[in-house]
Amino acid sequence: MTFATVVGLGLGMSGISVGLMLSYPLIYNQTFLRSDTVSALSKHHRLDVWSRGYEGGKAANAPATALTALAFFSTWAYRGRYVVANRKINLYVVAGVFSALVVPFTVLAIKPVNDRLYAHLANAKSTASAADDDEVEALFAKWTRLHNVRVALSLVSMAVGFYATFGF
């Protein structure tokens, strides 16, 4: 695989990853979680809507994030083999690091929120209380804030990759 192919794969997948991640705050959150129709749904149905969106995003975005990081990290193999400035390669590796940081951030910061939301989903049919509704709303808000950190990490990864490619 040529250096240009690896870089193109990294840039392309980073764009896909950013687009997928931005779809939650820009489209999904606005349409499904904040609309009058959805806010009138029961807690169980709102949690179900969230879980379906989350699972769909996870299925699409995890591979895109992994391929982005892998492609950018792979540029290291070309160090010294082509007339490519080591500074550019270092920037691609930095882009890979920002893309890869999405994984530990998700596991450490977002997974506990996901676990609580899924626990509420499992219990939503049998119990219903205003306190639970308030906690679910707080968890949705926290999840969205944490997800925005993942969006920022992906945007930085893409920006560094594009800067390495076109900024010199």
pLDDT confidence of residue 102: 96
72 vs 42: CA distance, rounded Å:
44
pLDDT at 78 over 90: no
Residue 83 pLDDT level (bands cut at 50, 70, 90): low
Total domains, the chain: 1
Residue 104 pLDDT level (bands cut at 50, 70, 90): very high
pLDDT at 100 over 80: yes
Residue 49 pLDDT level (bands cut at 50, 70, 90): confident
Closest CA to 21 of 112, 113, 153, 122: 153
pLDDT at 77 over 70: yes
pLDDT at 34 over 80: no
| Cβ(137)–Cβ(29) below 8 Å | no
Angle of helix 43-74 versus helix 130-166 axis, rounded to 10: 20
Closest CA to 98 of 163, 4, 26: 163
Domain extent, residue 73, equals: 3-166
Closest CA to 72 of 13, 155, 7, 162: 7
